[in-house]
C-alpha cells in the first residue's frame, strides 16, 4: 500500500487527495529535520522504517485542519483537547543520525 492510500485510510475521510499529499510532504519535512537536525548526514528521503510514522502524522494533520495550534476547542457543546500540539508523542520514536566530527 502506498503512503497516500495509507494516510487517506488513517486520516479524515473528507480530506482531498491533494491536501493529504501536502500533509505527507509536511510530515516528511518534519521527520527529516528530526533525523538530521544539523544537515550533517544529508538525508533526503524518509527511511522505510518511518513510512508509517509519516502517514500517521499526515493523518493527524488532516484531523486538525483548521485548528492548527489549538490545544483545546469547544463548539456547539462539543469539546476537544489535543494530547500534543507539537506531535512530540509520535516524533520521539525517531532516532537522529549522527556524524563523527574529525
> Is residue 75 one of the residues assigned to a domain?
no
> Is residue 70 one of the residues assigned to a domain?
no
> Is residue 23 one of the residues assigned to a domain?
yes
Alpha-carbon span 15 to 8, nearest angstrom: 8
Query: Mind listing the pLDDT tens digit for each residue in 24-51?
Result: 999 999 999 999 998 888 899 999 999 9
This prediction has a pTM of: 0.80
Q: What residues make up the domain containing 21?
A: 3-64+81-91
> Is residue 100 one of the residues assigned to a domain?
no
- What's the total number of domains in the chain? 1
Query: Mind listing the pLDDT tens digit for each residue in 54-76?
Result: 999 999 999 888 766 667 778 88
DSSP lists the bridge partners of residue 72 as 81
> Is residue 102 one of the residues assigned to a domain?
no
Amino acid at each position: 500500500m502506498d503512503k497516500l492510500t495509507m494516510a487517506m485510510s488513517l486520516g479524515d475521510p473528507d480530506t482531498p487527495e491533494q491536501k493529504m499529499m501536502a500533509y505527507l510532504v509536511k510530515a516528511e519535512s518534519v521527520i527529516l529535520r528530526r533525523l538530521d537536525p544539523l544537515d550533517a548526514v544529508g538525508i533526503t528521503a524518509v527511511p522505510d522504517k518511518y513510512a508509517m510514522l509519516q502517514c500517521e502524522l499526515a493523518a493527524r494533520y488532516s484531523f486538525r485542519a483548521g485548528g492548527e495550534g489549538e490545544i483545546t476547542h469547544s463548539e456547539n457543546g462539543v469539546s476537544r483537547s489535543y494530547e500534543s500540539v507539537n506531535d512530540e508523542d509520535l516524533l520521539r520514536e525517531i532516532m537522529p543520525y549522527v556524524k563523527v566530527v574529525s
